[in-house]
Structures are given as structure tokens and as C-alpha cells.
Amino acid sequence: MSAARGYGPDRDGDRAPSAAANRRRTSAARGYGPDRDGDRSPSAAANRGSGDTVLQVEDLHVRFDQAGRRVHAVNGLSYRLRDGRTLAIIGESGSGKTVSSRALMGLLPPSATVTGSARIDGVELVGMPEEEIRRYRGADIAMVFQDPTRSLNPTMRIGSQVTEAVRAHAQVDKAAAKQRAVELLRLVRIPDPERRFHEYPHQLSGGMRQRVMIAIALASDPKVLIADEATTALDVTTQAQIMELLAELRERLGTAIILISHDLGLAASYADEVIVMYAGRAVEHAPTRILFEHVRMPYTRALLEAIPRLERDSHAPLPVTPGQPPDLTAVLPGCPFEPRCGRALPDCKVRRPPLVEHQVGHWWACWNPCEDGEPR
Amino acid sequence: MTLDPPTAPEPAVHAVHPSPNRLLEVRNVVHEFVVRGAGGVRGGVVHAVSDVSFNLDAGETLGIVGETGSGKSTLARCVLQAPRPKSGSVRFRGAELVGLRGGRLRQARRDMQMVFQDPYGSLNPRWRVTDIVEEPLIGFGDGNSASRRRRVRELLDLVGLNPDVYGRRHPRELSGGQCQRVAIARAIALGPALIVCDEPVSSLDVLIQAQVLNLLERLRTEFGLSYLFISHDLALVKQVSDRVAVMHLGQLCEVGPADALYRAPRHPYTVDLLASIPSLDPTAPRATRRAVAAGEPPSPLNPPSGCRYRTRCIRAQQLCAEERPMLRELGPGHEVACHFPEPVDGPEGTAATPPSANALYARSNSGGEP
């Protein structure tokens, strides 16, 4: 996988020039500012280990061995995350999106075997002993989980929980830690933080609890914040508030964000780059605008078409993808999406398409990719 | 029809859809839960459903949308008399359900079924699929065991599960989508007229969700079913519904034909909800400042006076605190409970621009190019 992924010259030069022009237009319109523009050029893409990259994941594999069954949850995931950017990892349940991020945090059970490489600022996390990973977990990478009710201790005041997080990462006295905790609560826009400091989680609404979780995650000023379905349990209005908060914090603190979600809408609205995962593999990876305007992987297109949309008429039948996600205990030789794919070729069953950068910045793993504007 | 007192016997909805094939008439339904306050001493009352009225015609789907705690599930359950509403009237095919007990209530429920959110939680884990689907037939004494077995096979085929493969399985051996198909087969076993779907696809992945939605749609046209479809997802509700009711803190804010309501929402709450949906178009503007400022719903233990949305609403004025706005008709079949409804969209919001959430709202700053 990693060889196929190499940022080498295996790019398809023969794609329609109009698409290339389109891309130039869109990436210019996107306006990252002059300091970011260089990132888009192929030479910058080839320049690994630039100071800009905070997290580099290469050929990450995770498998679980339990009761004689071997589940291949993540099969060769590679990406890199740059400072102050948001990367969305999108997939259905069982696609490996959560497992891959927990692997970075060293939060998987003993039945898991993690191989490959994940480096944060050059420090290898995979294979690091537990005592050592504690120095990085929560400090350099922090995580916000889906369920704020279960992530917070119901018997502790929220202020103590935030203070605890502050003191876990910095040698400060109680008073200073408390002051920092109040600052953090203010940072995540909890109204009246001095009073809220003394409240228990059950006295807060779901959105407020998730803000507390974000405050705890930010206590150590992490380089990378992983939001694992952080807004899935929240209402759409609260979700918008939390997402806007994360976007604002990213601007202010320069924290890079990995947004793990099943919701392509969140990716479209809040991410710079999107990875779509299926059966433990990245199947498409591109800057957000490019992905949504030039979908190539039939799976991504199926996802996009299956989402009910406001602009569609009532009762219009949704395009259906038959079948179920594959069983991850067996690794089949072909494309994992082949049995459900409307564009499958005979080849797809026997040869797995590698994830290749077919166009600048746009990677996909498919032998028969979709074209722009064609019907499925 | 404007500003009737809450107890008015003829709310506006009566006049809206005069139809001979009225299936369900819900009038002034109220339901409250008594809870203990902090320390278990102080009592409180959760105003879950406060004076809600609506109609449902045969073959029609009414979507109910709202946030967590808006009372949408309680409302739907009150329709089925589980729990019985505290006051109000629910008429099913003209017959009053409130007050029915025992055998007569059970007979009435034969034509009303429910599909729940949690596919695993709503099926008995120790039963086989065939037992689960057969249960309602046994409960209502339909046929003998041979005819029931035939019917179960038929039903499983109907929901797209091969009875030879799946019939002997337990729920734990099925995926979430398959469980939901079993629940649907159970719901249609007795040939009901109304199915209450309480977030039936919320726990499913998007591809499986599309399969189940299409199944519900096929069954609706095939058997002329009516759905009361509850969801927090506005786009999903639009997909399945003929009419949509928006609920906030136990009250209906806006009821109307799906297309009109989404094209030109008139209640500020509906507008804020629509503006909060993350758009699938990366070029669309993100959630508006206004929607983000709307904050979280107030506690149903102590709802605000007057309009219950006024504490979150940018259009709120003094009147909103003093007087509860009643549903009044502002367009054909389109009722809004607001003293100061949103102006009707300009031409750019209605015609050329597809009503994506953000485009809808962006009418004021004209930044909503799709």
C-alpha cells in the first residue's frame, strides 16, 4: 500500500484538461492565503517531513485477534496532517475510522495489533511502550468522544475535571491550575465559567458537556485534536455551535483537527481535506472542494447519493446500493466494494485497486472510476 | 382563526384539509411527566406535549421534526395511547381512543403499529426472526399455525429477507438494517393503516438507511399505509413526508406541505434549524451566526411564557412573552404559530435557487449561490 501511495510520479497525466483548469480555479477560489498555496503544488507534496506536517501516518494496520477470529480493521492507512488544518475521515460503522484514530492514541484493547507508522512531530507512536505514550496522549494528541455524558465523571464537578487535566500535563500549583481551567472554560464559550466551574455534569446540557470535553482536550495545548463523532449525539443546532467553536479554536490556537464522522455534510462544511474509508482502507482522498465536485470512487458517490437532501422532492426514490459492508475477518483479493458496486469490472474481483494520486492532490482506489456528471 | 385560546374546540387544522378519508385527528393533546427535582424532594413537571392538534389522512405521511426533548416521541406515543395523554382527544377513523381500556384498546391498536429507533433493543434477543414476526398474528388469533407460517414467509419476503436464510436466526445474528426489516415485517403483519416510525433509520449507516427508506416507501404505496414519521433530521423527513410538522418544546411551530415548508419556512425556528444543517456543498456558506446564536432549548420543566421559542429567537418582541402564538394559516395548508413570521422568500429563494439549507437562509446576504 505504502509503495503505491508514494507521492511519486505515478500521476495520471491524461485526465481531461478542463478538470485540471477547474481544479486550479477551485483551489484558487478556496483562498488559503499565500502561505498555504505552496502546499498544493506537487513539489510540496513530494517534500515529506516539512515543518508543516504535525502528524504523519503511514501504512497503518490494525487487527484484532479474539476467540480465534482475526478481524482486519485497518488495512494500510496513510495520510498526513498539517498544522492548523482539518482532515475529515468519513466512513460507515466498521470502516476503521475510529479504530485508526484510537490506534494513534494507544487506546486499543490488548487484542489489537498495530503495525505501520504514525509520527507526531517525528516521534513514532506505534510500538511505543504504555508508560511513554502517556507523555504524548492527551498532551500532543487529544481526543473528544461522541458521548460527553459517559466521558465525564458524574461525581466530580466539571471544574475539578478540567483542573485535573491541566495538572496532568503541567507542573503548576492548584491556584494556577484553577485559573487556567476557568480560562479554558471561557475559551470554549461556557457562559459564566466561574459559576459553572462548581457544577456537576448532570447540570449541564449535552452541548455544554461537549464544550467541557473540548476544554479538557485543550488543557495541554495539543497539536492535534481528534473529534470522534463529537457532534453525532447532539441536535443539529447544537452541532452547528460546536462545529463553529472547533473551527474558531483551530483559527485561534492553530490546532490541527481530525474530524471523524459518518456525515459527509460535516466534511463538506468544515474540513480542508477528506479521506473516505471503506473496509479499513482509504478509498478516496482529496481536498474537500475537489472531492465533492469531482467524485471518482463509486463508493463515495453512492454515499453522496444516498443522503436525503433538502433540494430533492419528497418521495423521490433514493438510489440504492445493495448488500452489506464486507466481513473483515477475510481479506479478499479484489476491491472490497466490488460486490456492491454498479461499475465493477471482472478485474475488480481479483485485483485490488491501490490508492493512487491520479490527479494532483486527488487519490482514489478504483479501476473504473466515475466521471464528472455521468449518471451512476 | 387567529389567536384562539388554547382550548378552542375548532383549531385551524380543521379547516385546512377537509378530507373524507381522514385517518387520525389529534386535538389539544397534553402530556406531562412528574419528575423529582434535585435531592429527590422538590417536584417538577416536564411539559412534554402541550396542546398539540393535527390531522393525518389515509395514505399520507406526516413528518414530525424537532430537537431532543421537543416531545415528538411522546406525542407519537400518545397517539397509540402508550402512554395515554393527560388530556385531549385522539380519534382514529372517527373513533375516540382516549379512555379506551383493555380489550377494546387492544383491538383498536391492531390497525396502528410502531417501528422504533433501536433495532436491537426492540426485538427480543432470545427469539428467532420467525417467532418475532409471528407474534402479532398469534396475539390477535389470526389463522392456524400453518397459515401463520405461510404469512410470516410472505412478510419476510416482502421486506427483502430470505425466510430460508434469516428465518431461523436470532437478532444478534443480523445487522442493524436487517433487524429494522424484521421490525417492519412485524409492524405490517396485521395489515395496519397507520405505522408510527420513531427515528426508524437514525442508527443505520447511510447506505443501509437508503435501503430501509425505500422499503418503507414501497410498502406505503403497495398497501396504502399512513406514516407518522418522527426524526430529528430535516432532510430525511422531507424525503419521506407529504406534510411536515415542526415541534419545539412540546408545541407545534409550523405545519405545512413538505415542499412549501422547506422552500419558504415562515417560523424562525424552522429557519434556524434549516440553517444549522451542514451543507453538502463545500462552497455554500456555513451555519449562520444567527443559527449558532440560537442556543439550546430551554428546560421543559419551566418553559418560557408566551412563545416558547422567544428566548432563542432574533425576531422576538414584547408580545411574544405575553401571548402564546396559535397556529394560523399563512398559505394553502401552511400553518405557522408565530406573531412575527419570516417574510416570504424573494424570487431568488423560490425559483432558480435549489432550497439548500444555507441558500434558503442566505436570502438576506445574497451569498447563497449553490
Contacts of A263 in chain B (CB under 8 A): 278
Which of A244, A251, A269 is the best substitution to test chain B (most B C-beta atoms within 10 A)? A269
Q: How far is CA B346 from CA A171, B46, B349, B361, in A?
A: 59, 40, 6, 11
Mean pLDDT confidence for A81-98: 93
Interface of A with B in 174-203 (CB under 8 A): none
Interface of A with B in 260-299 (CB under 8 A): 262-266, 268-270, 288-289, 292-293
Q: Report the pLDDT value the prediction gives residue B141, as an integer from 0 to 100.
A: 87
| Residue range(s) defining the domain that contains residue B340 | 264-365
pLDDT bin (cut points 50, 70, 90) of residue B344 is confident
pLDDT bin (cut points 50, 70, 90) of residue A26 is very low
pLDDT, tens digit (0-9, with 9 covering 90-100), for A262-314 = 999 999 999 999 999 999 999 999 999 999 999 999 999 999 999 998 888 88
Q: In 3D, which of B335, B265, B248, B320 has the Cα closest to residue B1? A: B335
Assigned domain for B336 exists: yes
pLDDT at B178 over 80: yes
Asked if B241 is an interface residue toward chain A (Cβ–Cβ < 8 A), one would say yes
Q: Check CB contact under 8 Å for A315 and B239.
A: yes
Q: Check CB contact under 8 Å for B292 and A240.
A: yes
Q: Report the pLDDT value the prediction gives residue B1, as an integer from 0 to 100.
A: 40
pLDDT at A358 over 80: yes
Q: Check CB contact under 8 Å for B240 and A315.
A: yes
Chain B: give the shortest CA distance to residue A91, in Å.
9
Q: Are A179 and A166 in contact (CB under 8 A)?
A: no
Q: In 3D, which of A123, A132, A89, A96 has the Cα closest to residue A226? A: A89
**Comparing A90-99, A174-183, A323-332, B288-297, which segment has the lowest mean pLDDT?**
B288-297
Q: Are A144 and A230 in contact (CB under 8 A)?
A: yes
Which of A237, A262, A307 is closest, CB to CB, to B294? A237
pLDDT at B234 over 60: yes
Which of A189, A237, A245, A300 is the best substitution to test chain B (most B C-beta atoms within 10 A)? A237
Q: How far apart are the first and last CA of chain A?
A: 28
- Beta bridge partners, B230, equal B64, B198
Q: Report the pLDDT value the prediction gives residue B363, as an integer from 0 to 100.
A: 32
Contacts of B46 by beta carbon, 8 Å cutoff, 6+ apart: B32, B33, B34, B35, B300, B301
**Comparing A200-209, A213-222, B280-289, which segment has the lowest mean pLDDT?**
B280-289
pLDDT bin (cut points 50, 70, 90) of residue B159 is very high
Assigned domain for B356 exists: yes
Burial of A169 (0-12, 13-18, 19+ CB in 10 A): middle
Mean pLDDT confidence for A209-217: 94
pLDDT bin (cut points 50, 70, 90) of residue B8 is very low
Asked if B282 is an interface residue toward chain A (Cβ–Cβ < 8 A), one would say yes
Asked if A302 is an interface residue toward chain B (Cβ–Cβ < 8 A), one would say yes
Assigned domain for B230 exists: no
Q: Check CB contact under 8 Å for B282 and A292.
A: yes
Chain B residue closest in CA terms to A234:
B68
Chain A: give the shortest CA distance to residue B80, in Å.
25
Mean pLDDT confidence for B294-323: 88
pLDDT at A335 over 70: yes
Assigned domain for B269 exists: yes
Please, what is the Cα angle at B347 between B346 and B349, to 5 degrees? 70
Contacts of B35 in chain A (CB under 8 A): none
Q: Report the pLDDT value the prediction gives residue A312, as an integer from 0 to 100.
A: 87
Q: What cell was used for B152?
A: 410470516
Mean pLDDT confidence for A16-26: 38
Q: Check CB contact under 8 Å for A324 and B175.
A: yes
Q: Report the pLDDT value the prediction gives residue B63, as an integer from 0 to 100.
A: 96
pLDDT at A5 over 70: no
pLDDT at A359 over 80: yes
Q: How far apart are CA A264 and CA A279, in angstroms?
A: 17
Q: Report the pLDDT value the prediction gives residue A354, as an integer from 0 to 100.
A: 94
Q: What cell was used for B19?
A: 378530507
Assigned domain for B187 exists: no
Interface of A with B in 199-258 (CB under 8 A): 205-208, 235-241, 243-244, 247
Q: Check CB contact under 8 Å for A269 and B295.
A: no
Contacts of B284 in chain A (CB under 8 A): 269
Chain A: give the shortest CA distance to residue B221, in Å.
10
Q: Check CB contact under 8 Å for A236 and B354.
A: no
Q: A20 versus B164: which is more confidently predicted?
A: B164
Chain B residue closest in CA terms to A290:
B282
Q: How far is CA A182 from CA A254, B123, B346, B366, in A?
A: 21, 46, 46, 39
Per the prediction, chain A carries an average pLDDT of: 84
Q: Report the pLDDT value the prediction gives residue B39, as an integer from 0 to 100.
A: 63
pLDDT, tens digit (0-9, with 9 covering 90-100), for B94-128 = 999 998 988 899 888 899 999 998 888 999 999 99
Q: Check CB contact under 8 Å for B287 and A243.
A: yes
Q: In 3D, which of A45, A119, A104, A110 has the Cα closest to residue A74? A: A104
Q: How far apart are CA B26 and CA A64, in angstroms?
A: 53
Interface of B with A in 204-233 (CB under 8 A): 205-211, 213-214, 217, 232-233
pLDDT bin (cut points 50, 70, 90) of residue B361 is very low
Chain B: give the shortest CA distance to residue A79, in Å.
21
Assigned domain for B304 exists: yes
Q: How many domains does chain B have?
A: 1
Q: How far apart are CA A323 and CA B21, in angstroms?
A: 38
Asked if A313 is an interface residue toward chain B (Cβ–Cβ < 8 A), one would say yes
pLDDT, tens digit (0-9, with 9 covering 90-100), for B44-84 = 888 999 999 999 999 999 999 998 889 999 999 999 998 89
Q: Report the pLDDT value the prediction gives residue B37, as an integer from 0 to 100.
A: 62
Q: Report the pLDDT value the prediction gives residue A48, as an integer from 0 to 100.
A: 31
Q: What are phi and psi of A82, to 5 degrees?
A: -100, 160
Chain B residue closest in CA terms to A207:
B296
Chain A: give the shortest CA distance to residue B52, in Å.
22
pTM of the model: 0.83
Asked if B240 is an interface residue toward chain A (Cβ–Cβ < 8 A), one would say yes
Asked if A315 is an interface residue toward chain B (Cβ–Cβ < 8 A), one would say yes
- Domains defined along chain A, listed by start: 53-140+222-307+320-332+358-376 (3.40.50.300), 150-219 (no CATH)
pLDDT at B224 over 60: yes
Q: Report the pLDDT value the prediction gives residue A10, as an integer from 0 to 100.
A: 37
Q: What is the ipTM of this complex?
A: 0.80
Which of A244, A266, A306 is closest, CB to CB, to B292? A244
Q: Report the pLDDT value the prediction gives residue A375, as an integer from 0 to 100.
A: 57
Give the count of beta carbons closer than 10 Å to the beta carbon of residue B344. Answer: 12
pLDDT bin (cut points 50, 70, 90) of residue A132 is confident
Q: Report the pLDDT value the prediction gives residue A22, as an integer from 0 to 100.
A: 39
Chain A residue closest in CA terms to B175:
A324
pLDDT at A4 over 60: no
Assigned domain for B313 exists: yes
Q: Report the pLDDT value the prediction gives residue A331, as an integer from 0 to 100.
A: 81
Q: Report the pLDDT value the prediction gives residue B35, as an integer from 0 to 100.
A: 81
Q: A179 versus A36: which is more confidently predicted?
A: A179
Asked if B7 is an interface residue toward chain A (Cβ–Cβ < 8 A), one would say no
Q: Report the pLDDT value the prediction gives residue B366, as an integer from 0 to 100.
A: 33
Interface of A with B in 99-138 (CB under 8 A): none
Q: Report the pLDDT value the prediction gives residue B345, as an integer from 0 to 100.
A: 61
Q: Report the pLDDT value the prediction gives residue A43, as an integer from 0 to 100.
A: 35
pLDDT, tens digit (0-9, with 9 covering 90-100), for A52-70 = 899 999 999 999 998 888 9
pLDDT, tens digit (0-9, with 9 covering 90-100), for B244-293 = 999 999 999 999 999 999 999 999 999 989 988 888 888 887 766 666 66
Assigned domain for B33 exists: no
pLDDT at B7 over 80: no
Q: How many CB pairs under 8 A join A and B?
A: 145
Which of B67, B209, B280 is closest, CB to CB, to A309? B280
Interface of B with A in 159-188 (CB under 8 A): 175, 177
Cα-Cα-Cα-Cα dihedral sign, residues B225, B48, B199, B150: negative
